[in-house]
Amino acid sequence: MKLCMIGTGYVGLVSGVCFSDVGNTVYCVDKDQKKIDLLNKGIVPIFEPGLEEILKKNYKQKRLIFTSDLKKAVINSDIIFICVGTPTKKKTNSADLKYVFSVAKDLKKIIKKYKIIITKSTVPVTTGDKIEKILSRLKKKKLVDVVSNPEFLREGEAIRDFIYPDRVIVGTDSNKANRTLKSLYFPIIKKSSRYFNTSRKGAELIKYASNAFLATKISFINEIANLCEKAGVDIKDISLGMGSDQRIGDRFLRAGPAYGGSCFPKDTRALIDTGNKFKTDLSIVKSVVNSNDKRKTLLIKRVEKILGSKLKNKIITFLGVTFKPNTDDMREASSIPMIKYLNKKYSKIRYYDPSGEKEDLKGLNNVNYCDTISSACLKADLVILHTEWNDFKLLNFKKLIKKQKFKIFDMRNMYSAFRMKKLKIDYYGIGR
Ligand SMILES: NC(=O)c1ccc[n+]([C@@H]2O[C@H](COP(=O)([O-])OP(=O)(O)OC[C@H]3O[C@@H](n4cnc5c(N)ncnc54)[C@H](O)[C@@H]3O)[C@@H](O)[C@H]2O)c1
């Protein structure tokens, strides 16, 4: 089939590359010409394990085309995926749909032959209706079907998630569009039980409900971790004990910093906003957002407590700053408010992240990127293990820090508290 991905970011690029790998011809369009130029040189602009190899293979086979020419890409494709960003609108909780609607307006001018238009971007319930309204002239002539096909891939494991999805949700009441999408996804899902055809609005809401539920699990275990700290219980035992119950499941039950990233924070906020629009009080989601916001401050206070409130001139090293491992994405990473606060208190911050230096932390006085773990840790007063990259799992802190007294704050409970005690390292974890 001939596909067009509009927006070549984390979702559009991964989906486009994976669809091309099963034999489709995929036009990947982006208005960011720099991104397109990089991709045409075989340079992947994001950090996503395994992506470059598949991209290069399919580019060579001419199944992948990177372009900023939307018209050409749309005319040559049967299925158009909208994969642009849907960030939070400034000073509100609502999803900013300006990029989505702007694409719909462009499509209105280009389409002359039947196309399936799909929102892969995460969009609030009824967005599909609004897109259809923009395209009403084409809809009347039966030249378009507007479908919702939300994406569930996780950054860092995106290829695996896309190729072996738990489920594919397709929201449409058009038999024609449904049949086409089923055959598009067939090589990926293989088991047809994983393909769900729902209403368009249902598909839109499934995505938000899923993300809000996962955010709830994280916030829940984080709050239980707070209780564990006071009650002298190890949160790892609780996660294990709870997670072994199949009704609960063990994933997203690891205590740590506030959740961040490009999805959970904005999607929980947008769901609350949707609830308000439909006069429905989503009180659980509201308290999750509130709990997560509080957690950012709580962990900052914990750092202050560990260092005895004397933050000035203390060397604080962050190992990992991204919101999760195996991605370079810094959107709403909890390290950002922490580093900014500590910086204001005149601490000397160093950080190392396997995905490289971060734009978000450039220009801050006394915040420096180090390109090795050892240069970041040398003579540190406190090392904060913020993101659980594999690179940080077997470190010899005494050798790295080369100092008599230092502290470790392991925000991901990567190390054994018992072993740290044996090594006489001043060690702090979460919920222990
Ligand atoms: N990142 C994830 O892990 C993830 C997972 C599931 C769903 N989603 C959802 O997918 C959507 C995209 O997320 P993302 O992380 O890939 O975003 P992103 O910011 O990485 O990429 C969006 C891309 O769209 C491009 N763009 C914007 N307007 C355009 C236009 N008119 N024409 C062509 N290109 C345009 C931008 O230049 C950018 O490259 C969001 O709605 C997000 O919530 C993201």
Q: Pairing state of beta strands 407-410 and 426-428? A: parallel
Q: Which residue lies with its CA nearest to atom 44 of ligand 1?
A: 11
Given ligand 1 and candidates 32, 34, 68, 84, which is best to mutate, with the most ligand atoms within 8 Å of its CB? 84
Tens digits of residue pLDDT in 386-427: 999 999 999 999 999 999 999 999 999 999 999 999 999 999
**Over 80: is that where the pLDDT of 145 sits?**
yes
Tens digits of residue pLDDT in 52-61: 999 999 999 9
Give CA–CA dist 387/314, Å, rounded.
Answer: 21
Point out the least confidently predicted range of 94-103, 214-223, 303-312: 303-312
User: What is the set of active-site residues?
Assistant: 263
**Over 80: is that where the pLDDT of 276 sits?**
yes
Answer whether 0.85 is exceeded by the pTM: yes
Tens digits of residue pLDDT in 197-248: 999 999 999 999 999 999 999 999 999 999 999 999 999 999 999 999 999 9
> Which helix or strand (DSSP H or E) is residue 187 part of?
helix 175-189
Measured from the Cα of 120, ligand 1's closest atom is 10
In the prediction, which pLDDT does 191 show? Answer: 64
Amino acid in position 188: I
Range of the domain at 312: 199-432
Q: Which residues have CB under 8 Å from 174's CB, separation 6+?
A: 145, 147
- Based on the fold, state whether residues 191 and 207 are members of the same structural domain: no
- Based on the fold, state whether residues 165 and 51 are members of the same structural domain: yes
Tens digits of residue pLDDT in 156-187: 999 999 999 999 999 999 999 999 999 999 99
What is 99-148 written as a DSSP string? HHHHHHHHHHHH--S-EEEEE-S---TTHHHHHHHHTHHHHHTT-EEEEE
Mean pLDDT (the chain) is 97
Q: Which residues have CB under 8 Å from 177's CB, separation 6+?
A: 116, 145, 147, 170
CATH label of the domain that carries residue 322: 3.40.50.720
Q: Pairing state of beta strands 144-148 and 348-352? A: unpaired
Q: Is the CB of 124 under 6 A from ligand 1?
A: no
- Based on the fold, state whether residues 161 and 186 are members of the same structural domain: yes
Centre of ligand 1 to C-alpha 314, Å, is 39
- Based on the fold, state whether residues 257 and 359 are members of the same structural domain: yes
Tally of domains within the chain? 2
Q: Strand pairing partners for 6? A: 29, 82
**Over 80: is that where the pLDDT of 13 sits?**
yes
- Based on the fold, state whether residues 189 and 302 are members of the same structural domain: no
- Based on the fold, state whether residues 281 and 411 are members of the same structural domain: yes
- Based on the fold, state whether residues 144 and 182 are members of the same structural domain: yes
Select from 133, 166, 197 the last residue of a domain. 197
In the prediction, which pLDDT does 193 show? Answer: 65
- Based on the fold, state whether residues 411 and 323 are members of the same structural domain: yes
Given ligand 1 and candidates 5, 8, 11, 122, which is best to mutate, with the most ligand atoms within 8 Å of its CB? 11
User: Burial, 10: exposed, middle or buried (Cβ in 10 Å; 0-12, 13-18, 19+)?
Assistant: buried
Average pLDDT, stretch 97-112?
A: 98
In the prediction, which pLDDT does 192 show? Answer: 60
Percentage of the chain with pLDDT > 90? 97
In the prediction, which pLDDT does 189 show? Answer: 83
Which residue's entry shows tokens 């003579």?
A: 379
- Residue 370, Ramachandran bin (φ over 0: left; ψ between -120 and 50: alpha; else beta): beta
- Based on the fold, state whether residues 275 and 176 are members of the same structural domain: no
Please give the C-alpha separations between residue 342 and each of 299, 306, 383, in angstroms, as whole numbers: 12, 13, 13
In the prediction, which pLDDT does 397 show? Answer: 97
In the prediction, which pLDDT does 310 show? Answer: 84
Tens digits of residue pLDDT in 355-398: 999 999 999 999 999 999 999 999 999 999 999 999 999 999 99
Please give the C-alpha separations between residue 302 and each of 71, 226, 296, 314, 420, in angstroms, as whole numbers: 54, 11, 10, 15, 19
Select from 134, 164, 197 the last residue of a domain. 197
Select from 167, 197, 227 the last residue of a domain. 197
Q: Pairing state of beta strands 367-369 and 348-352? A: parallel
- Based on the fold, state whether residues 153 and 260 are members of the same structural domain: no
Q: Is the CB of 122 under 6 A from ligand 1?
A: yes
In the prediction, which pLDDT does 48 show? Answer: 96
Of 298, 297, 301, 333, nearest to 318 by C-alpha is 333
**Over 80: is that where the pLDDT of 28 sits?**
yes
- Based on the fold, state whether residues 207 and 185 are members of the same structural domain: no
Long-range contacts: 419-424, Cβ < 8 Å, 24+? 423/398
Centre of ligand 1 to C-alpha 30, Å, is 10
- Based on the fold, state whether residues 94 and 226 are members of the same structural domain: no
